[in-house]
Structure 1
Amino acid sequence: MNQPPAPHGRHLDAAPELIRVLVAHPLPERAAALSQQLTDAAIHCRCAPTLEEALRELEPAVDVVLAAESLSSCALEALTAAIRQQSLPAKLIALCRRPTLAKAVRALRTGASDLLAEPVDEVELAAAVVSAAEQARQQRRLLQELETLRHQAEQLEEAHTQVADHLDALCDELTDTCASLAEQVDELAQSAPDLRARLAGVLDVEAALRIVLEHVLNCIGPTNAAIFLPGDSGDFNLGAYVNYDCDKDSVDVLLDHLADVLAPAFAEENAVVQLRDAAEQRTWLDEDAAWLQAYPHLLVAACHDSDGDCLAVMALFRDATTPFGEQARDALVEIRDAFAARLAQIMRIHHRLAKTQNPQDPEWGGAADDEGGLAA
């Protein structure tokens, strides 16, 4: 038997998915005839002779239900209710032997998508079933999309909860960090006055060096530290140092070399310079950075007077396992400023004393043999 043409010019055999139909009809011969017509149109179908069996056969895979009015006085209502309760995408087509306007209205109000008169033409039957199946599959796709969206919404809600909890934890951590930083700032703010108070009245450079290095260890912790003082000819000499973990046999050679290369390299710098690796050291010291190969972490601060002249260069250096933090750098800024202020005052006092004791010094209008410089 030839298959009927599909609606809108599309051949039924080319349907991308198999259409599944449930035929609910109490008359076996009519059910068999409908089943054969659908099978000839490449439509899969099953038959249910009673309402109860039809309700049992309902499942998500069913696209269309063909229900005869003779099945039961409430067959359409019962099948429609079952489809809605189970959230099935199936569409219902009512079959009746003597269709009337009242029957059509009742079927449509019940939820049927179409009403066909029996016996139905195979072309009309196939067209109605294909149309209803397309509606059912569109509804099925919408239901799947809604389920996907629901699942995504649940995932987003869960992610939102996790992010909110994480943000709360971060806020708590940030609050604690801010409080800790505030305490550190207070400590730094207090450390400078403490150092200035300890340096007040100190007229000896060596005493000032000792106080400053003690303050460095108290504020910054264990570290190798050296202070270089300028001499008469523009060179630098080692003023004082703290040996934390340098080799005792070679530390003197190392510090003398740093006085020759490191101190001049940073003498004009106004900011505290922090170097974190060998590459940064090479940028400043070229090949001489090899002397600090074992100490990649470096803090350097030059002390200047109000005229911009260098009074001292402070260098702190550590090995790769103990880098300097931002707190150490900030502390060194305060230490440098306090030390520079005191050194400048000591210089002024020494100059006044030199003028009083050596009035013939050429710097003061006469001959003198006094040596300048700050090397202790």
Structure 2
Amino acid sequence: MRKRPLSAIQSDPGTEQSVPTSGHEPVSLTAHCEMDQTGLPGRSLSSQETGRVLLVIPDELESKRISAMLRAAGYACDVVTRAADARILIDSLMYDVMIVSPSQLDGHGMELRHSLRRRNPIGRTVVVSQSSNFEEAVQALRAGAVDFIPLPAEPSEFRARIAKALQLVDSDRRRENHLARMKNLCRRLHSTRNQVVGQIDTLCTDLADAYQEMAEHMTQLATVAEFSAIIRQELDIEELLRTVLEYVLRKIGPTNAAIYLPDHDDEFSLGAYVNYDCPKDTVDYLLDHLAGVIAPRLIDETRVLEFTSNRALEQWIGEDATWLSDSHVLAFGCHHNDECLAAIVLFRDTQTPFDAELAAVLGHMSIVLARQLAQIIHVHNRHLPDEERAQQGWQSLWQDDCDDDLDDDYGGGMAA
């Protein structure tokens, strides 16, 4: 006889269908199968539906009697008489409990248990037998059966023992659902933890960077405050320039340095310098030449310019860069009320470069020095009318107070 597809045996709960079973008479079954919303096998038991049972017993009369008891208890029950038919149903549907009589199935009854557990890991197998043989019961339990029920059995006792097997399934299902929820929660917690750790690492890095910046800023402020306190008491231009150069040497170490003061018409002359490693016979010519090359370029420049390569310096001052080849150069102007009161150049070999933060410190120091230079100009020209005082600027101060002293003491430079 040609078999009908398995989909033809599925029907609504409580509707009986006849299933051809390979040469046997059709048997009655009630087909009902659903998957739990969690994706786990089966679903929790309710008052209307207390589980899905597969009955595999060759004895047709006994199978009808047992199926009647199960349906009376509200169980969805499918009935087959052959192990091969049972495997087909197990592969297609999801059963909570399988009732099997292995002694009447040519030894294939317990093999069905493995098929059931592969399909539904929490499914249970109950063995029924016409005999009450103790060894058979032990063998069934050792093979993985959850219960062994001798037949015939009282309907109430039989239903109670099947209900106990279904309760075990339901308990396992709840545990599996709980574990699934816990695993999902753990994954979410782990993901959240990684995000928090990443945010903490970023925050710690930001805090460390902010602390480093603040520490550098505080160091710069301390240096500028110290410099301001030292030069504030100097009201003589010669002593002021000497003090400035001495302070710079103490802070940054040996270096070549030159301070240029404006004369008139955007021209500058050398006010003071320090010779560290320039040839003595050419240093005067070099520094005088730079007065006309570098100083005028700082009149409108409010930044501290830094050059660490010959190419960058050549782009700034052209061919005159050869005078300072292979030098690390820092150049800046001291401005007060939009007027450049001094231009300063520091340079030394690139093999001993200046510290990276020095440019920022010099930027603050230039403001302090410009304010002190303006104070000196104001003090020395205070007897003049306002208009003439503005015109005189450095000229009267430079001619009256510094002609002799600066030429004698600074024209020859300071020892490094």
Q: TM-score range by the shorter chain?
A: 0.5 to 0.7
Aligned equivalents of 2:356, 2:230: Cα separation in 1 = 22
Is the deviation greater in 258-267 or in 30-39? 30-39
Cα distance, 1:340–1:110 mapped onto 2, change above 3 Å: closer
Letter in 2 for 1:189: A
2:83 counterpart (35, 39, 52): 35
- SS of 1:238's equivalent? strand
- SS of 1:6's equivalent? helix
Superposed displacement of residue 2, structure 1: 3.7
Q: Deviations over 1:74-117 (max 9, x none)?
A: x9xx989xxxxxxxxxxxxxxx9989xx779947972668xxxx
Superposed displacement of residue 181, structure 1: 4.2
Q: Which residue of structure 2 aligns with residue 186 of structure 1?
A: 222
Q: Which residue of structure 2 aligns with residue 67 of structure 1?
A: 125
- SS of 2:365's equivalent? helix
1:150 aligns with 2:186: yes
How many pairs are equivalent? 298
- Superposition TM-score, scaled by structure 1 size: 0.54
Question: Unaligned 5+ residue runs, structure 1?
Answer: 10-19, 81-95, 114-135, 356-362, 365-369
Aligned equivalents of 2:361, 2:253: Cα separation in 1 = 13
1:224 aligns with 2:260: no
Q: Which residue of structure 2 aligns with residue 334 of structure 1?
A: 365
2:317 counterpart (270, 273, 285): 285
Query: Identity over aligned residues, as a percent?
Result: 26
Letter in 2 for 1:36: A
Superposed displacement of residue 314, structure 1: 1.1
Q: Which residue of structure 1 aligns with residue 332 of structure 2?
A: 300
- SS of 2:294's equivalent? helix
Cα distance, 1:284–1:177 mapped onto 2, change above 3 Å: closer
1:260 counterpart (276, 292, 297): 292
Superposed displacement of residue 36, structure 1: 0.7
Do the aligned residues in 1 keep the contact of 2:255 with 2:346 (CA within 8 Å)? Answer: yes
1:273 aligns with 2:304: yes
Letter in 2 for 1:210: R
Do the aligned residues in 1 keep the contact of 2:304 with 2:332 (CA within 8 Å)? Answer: yes
- SS of 1:242's equivalent? strand
Letter in 1 for 2:317: L
Question: Unaligned 5+ residue runs, structure 2?
Answer: 11-40, 42-52, 64-78, 104-109, 130-136, 147-152, 386-390, 393-397, 407-416
Superposed displacement of residue 313, structure 1: 0.7
Do the aligned residues in 1 keep the contact of 2:257 with 2:344 (CA within 8 Å)? Answer: yes
Do the aligned residues in 2 keep the contact of 1:229 with 1:374 (CA within 8 Å)? Answer: no
Q: Which residue of structure 1 aligns with residue 44 of structure 2?
A: none
Do the aligned residues in 2 keep the contact of 1:231 with 1:374 (CA within 8 Å)? Answer: no
Letter in 2 for 1:5: L
Do the aligned residues in 2 keep the contact of 1:275 with 1:299 (CA within 8 Å)? Answer: yes
Q: Which residue of structure 1 aligns with residue 68 of structure 2?
A: none
Aligned equivalents of 1:292, 1:285: Cα separation in 2 = 10
Superposed displacement of residue 226, structure 1: 1.2
1:234 aligns with 2:266: yes
Cα distance, 1:68–1:343 mapped onto 2, change above 3 Å: closer
Q: Deviations over 1:136-183 (max 9, x none)?
A: 9xx989967863652463364366457647856875785576466435
- Superposition TM-score, scaled by structure 2 size: 0.50
Is the deviation greater in 140-149 or in 330-339? 140-149
Superposed displacement of residue 227, structure 1: 0.8
- SS of 2:342's equivalent? strand
- SS of 2:231's equivalent? helix
Cα distance, 1:147–1:248 mapped onto 2, change above 3 Å: farther
Superposed displacement of residue 186, structure 1: 3.3
Cα distance, 1:248–1:60 mapped onto 2, change above 3 Å: farther
Indicate the structure (1 or 2) with the bigger Cα radius of gyration: 2
1:196 counterpart (225, 229, 232): 232
Do the aligned residues in 2 keep the contact of 1:229 with 1:237 (CA within 8 Å)? Answer: yes
Question: Which structure's relative contact order is higher, taking Cα pairs within 8 Å and 6+ residues apart?
Answer: 1
Cα distance, 1:214–1:111 mapped onto 2, change above 3 Å: same
Superposed displacement of residue 225, structure 1: 1.8
Q: Which residue of structure 1 aligns with residue 7 of structure 2?
A: 6
Letter in 1 for 2:360: R
Q: Which residue of structure 2 aligns with residue 87 of structure 1?
A: none
Cα-Cα RMSD: 5.7
Aligned equivalents of 2:169, 2:269: Cα separation in 1 = 103
Is the deviation greater in 185-194 or in 277-286? 277-286
Q: Which residue of structure 1 aligns with residue 25 of structure 2?
A: none
Aligned equivalents of 1:48, 1:160: Cα separation in 2 = 58
